[in-house]
Amino acid sequence: MVNTADLSDATRREVGQHFVVGFPEPTVSEHITTLIRDYYERFEHIKSLVSKLQQLAKDAGHERPLMVGIDQENGLVSAFNPVNGQRGTQFPGAMALAATGSLELAQKTSAASGRELHGAGINWAYSPVCDVNSDPLNPVIGRRQRVVILIRRSVKHFPGHGDTHVDSHLALPVIRKTKAQLHETELPPFIQLMKAGVLPTIMTGHMALPLVTESDVPCSLSRVITTEILRDELGFDGVVVTDCLEMDAVSAIYGCADGSVRALEAGADIVMICHRLDRQVAGIEAAYSALKSGRLSPDELSRSGQRIAALKDKFAGSWDAVLDPPSTSPSFADIKDSNLKLSKEAYDMTVALHADLSGVLPLSSAGIQDIVLITPEMARINPAVDAPPEEESTLRTADGAVRNTAGPSYIALANALGPALATHIVYNPRSPLSKDAIIHIASAAAVIFATRNASGDAGAWQIERLREVVALESGAKLLVISTCTPYDLVDAARVAPGAALLATFEFTKEALEAAVRVAFGEMKATGQIPVRLTK
């Protein structure tokens, strides 16, 4: 154990600049606990929280204001938009926006989202996602591929997380591609943005590229990736931040302490540890020890610190700017009102009709009033979206329910059907449809069957339940809605060739309500599925 007691205050402050820490659990301090528990529902509370954090930083002697980051991609990964809160506006995610075919709409929604974040004092968004979704079974990227005006982008996950069906939250993905293959598919989005000069920060991902690095070390901890390729070959001179080291791709193999040092050795400027205080402290202490022992180069750390300081000077601004910002005009309420209209306009353009060979739609044309809605049970499919039920975090609503999982959105879908809804059935992987469910389906005029990531092995049970519905031959009109990745529709078309097939690309309340408007003929499905549907 290296004795770091004699490290100077300046050195400790220097090391601290190289960590971004979060507090999704209210455990950082009693003060933060109070703020997180009591003041997170309204925009004004978030603004006050950020201001208090900045004041704490100034009082602690920090030379510059904090960079305050948030995982805001829009769509399903929208930390600023709680289900039951009064904060940010929900806008479509990247694949849904791609379905509209409108670059102008993508720019408008990103700018609107950025204005809301900036108004709350947030100056760093960990987006857009620049991974190319070349693997249809990718559980991490799926429908996340592009928020941003007035705040800083951090495109992710360099050098590309698209060609894998392993979730780095749960294990280390290994992508067997050469550097030449990366230049063909994964790297072009990053290179284009670098050439455009709009990339102050890049986030590295936790995937291994053994044909490039000659090891199974995650890219976020690899000097070959971070320094030799990103900095030396591609010429990136901005700030490099890692994805969260608490993801199992790193923490289960190296731990957050050693992982922090390895990331800094690799050339990362900032190490991200989002949740647990003990891991955050361990990472910082490990960096102290590595600096004292000579494992970390003081010169490299100093140059890295200069990049961070330049980022803060440009985008965090002065203490006066963050602690006494000018009053916003128009007000947040006015901005939110305008953005809600933009959100509805955007979502109305996202819904895509894949097929309707039997003329199922619109349901309203047949005067249908007895609709059975069938949705999958709420499950933790993607840790980037679904908070684990045992973990208290900012992914929870005020009443303790896990937010950004499909359950509340499917309830919103049922509510949107109004008096036409006869019953709402929730199906699961453990048992076939119940006798009561079969009776309801047999007497229904129409059935709406929702899927969520049914195209992979883990979700194949959803297609089996759809097969059970089709086998009943009830004569009901059948509408299948893929509420996340559109690849579900490949199997749905095979199992239910007479069904109408819609894609919403996400299971947000707004997306599913737009699908109902299409189903009832209130508007046309003008979206186009922006990926090739293959198995």
* pLDDT score of 153 more than 50: yes
Residue of 213, 214, 518 lying closest to 356 (CA atoms)? 518
| 365: confidence class by pLDDT, cuts 50, 70, 90 | low
The pLDDT tens digits of the residues spanning 488-499 come to 999 999 999 999
Q: What angle do CA 314, 317, 320 make, to 5 degrees?
A: 165
Listed as own residue / partner, the contacts of 209-216 with beta carbons closer than 8 Å and 24 or more positions apart are 209/159, 209/175, 209/177, 209/182, 210/174, 210/176, 211/176, 211/177, 211/178, 211/179, 212/177, 212/178, 212/179, 212/182, 216/172, 216/174
Residue of 229, 65, 94, 233 lying closest to 152 (CA atoms)? 65
| 120: confidence class by pLDDT, cuts 50, 70, 90 | confident
375 membership: H or E segment, kind and range:
strand 371-376
Range(s) of the chain covered by CATH 3.20.20.300: 9-323
CB neighbourhood size of 439 (10 A): 11
Q: What is the pLDDT of residue 74?
A: 85
The pLDDT tens digits of the residues spanning 199-234 come to 788 999 999 999 999 999 999 999 999 999 999 999
Q: Which CATH class is domain 351-519?
A: alpha beta
Range(s) of the chain covered by CATH 3.40.50: 351-519
Give the chain's end-to-end CA distance (angstroms, integer): 52
The conformational region for residue 118 under phi > 0 = left, psi -120 to 50 = alpha, else beta, is: alpha
The superfamily (CATH) of domain 9-323 is Glycoside hydrolase, family 3, N-terminal domain (3.20.20.300)
Q: Is 276 helix (H, G, I), strand (E, B) or coil?
A: coil
Take residue 490 and report the two structure tokens written for it: 């490949």
Mean pLDDT, residues 86-103: 89
The pLDDT tens digits of the residues spanning 33-60 come to 443 344 445 778 788 888 888 998 899 8
Quick check: 420 and 373 in contact, CB under 8 A? no
For 81, 140, 234, 266, 361, the CA distances from 372, given in Å and listed in that order, are: 30, 31, 54, 55, 15
* pLDDT score of 235 more than 70: yes
Quick check: 486 and 412 in contact, CB under 8 A? no
Q: What is the pLDDT of residue 179?
A: 93
Query: 3-state SS of 142-175?
Result: CCCCCCCCCCEEEEEEECCCCCCCCCCCCCCCEC
